Amino acid sequence: MRRRVTLAATMLIAPVLIASAPVATSPAIAQASAPDPVGALKRQLRDEHGVRISETTRYFYGEKTSRSGTRINGRLRLGRSGPVAADLTWRDLPAAKPHRVIRVRDDVYVSRSHHSGPVPDGTNWIIYPEHHRGSLGRDLAEDASLQPIDVYDPALVKALLNCSTSKPVPGGRLYRGTISYPALRKAAQGTLVNWTSGRPITARSKGKVSWQLWAGRDGLPKRLVTTDTAGTAKNPLVKRSDTRYTGWGSRPVITAPPAGEVISEAALLDYTLDQNTPIPEDSGNT
């Protein structure tokens, strides 16, 4: 009889409990509500979509911080395969002089402020050939960033998330992880270049990249902080980059500079040689 009373009481109370108790979230529902960075990125890789970035990079030697670094502010126009155009301003730290770079498809233009020698009047931009862009074209002009991780490569982002730990944070989710140079090379599309040597990373390269990636509730990257450690020495060279992403889905208009304001690197070299042509020795006629 006592058991029946208990069951009866439970039956009477049950409707109230069902109505007032919070509904437990199943693992499947929780998983579905988590951000999906890969899917979110794929939806942004569309013609005319864009994003704005702000980045600071610092260099370390062992435990000592160098005063050198780079600060970048820029806009990117995206396409189906990633950034197709960039317009950015960068400055080397601690110097305060800014330089501007514009990339449209495969053409990279650098403001005349970056050239220390003479430049013809009316020339404001220098265009460099693809094989002679150096780190400026290889790193900065490609995606307005010095990050070792290409956040516009969904396959790479997916590979990194698969070896990340994550936790919810206000406004989204934080992902953390570390990957070796060879593993990063294997996961990425295209060639990865070692920032200390300028040479491609191979299966035998020594180094690692640690990351913290903040994704918003929509899954899109909000901030990426990486620590890029080259080699395995006791006091290695370290590059720390901190990038913030805003304005996803914006439609930036990025165009090449006016043709009349542009000079090629080859033509600039000829102009410089002409300006520096030595005066012939006096033959005694003057």
Give me the domain span that covers residue 129.
Answer: 37-250
pLDDT (mean) for 178-200? 86
DSSP state at residue 94? S
**Cα–Cα distance measured from residue 210 to residue 226, given in angstroms and rounded to the nearest whole number:** 6
Cβ atoms of residues 69 and 58 within 8 Å: yes
Residue 272 lies in a domain: no
Residue 55 confidence class, pLDDT cut points 50, 70, 90 = very high
- Total count of domains within the chain: 1
Within a domain: 119:
yes
Note whether 52 and 245 are within 8 A (CB): yes
* pLDDT band for position 244 (cuts 50, 70, 90): very high
pLDDT for residue 140: 80
24 in a structural domain: no
Does residue 275 lie in a domain region? no
What per-residue confidence (pLDDT) applies to 228? 93
Asked if residue 132 is part of any domain, the answer here is: yes
Say whether pLDDT at 66 is over 60. Answer: yes
The answer to whether residue 13 is domain-embedded is no
pLDDT of residue 155 exceeding 90, the answer is yes
Q: Is the pLDDT of residue 204 over 80?
A: yes
The answer to whether residue 286 sits within a structural domain is no
The predicted pLDDT at position 269 comes to: 87
Separation of alpha carbons 57 and 150, rounded Å = 15
Residues 6+ apart with CB under 8 A from 71: 55, 56, 57, 90, 91, 93
| pLDDT band, residue 273 (cuts 50/70/90) | confident
Structure-derived torsion over alpha carbons of residues 129, 132, 136, 140, reported in degrees to the nearest 10? 50
What's the CATH number where 109 sits?
Answer: 2.50.20
Residue 235 lies in a domain: yes
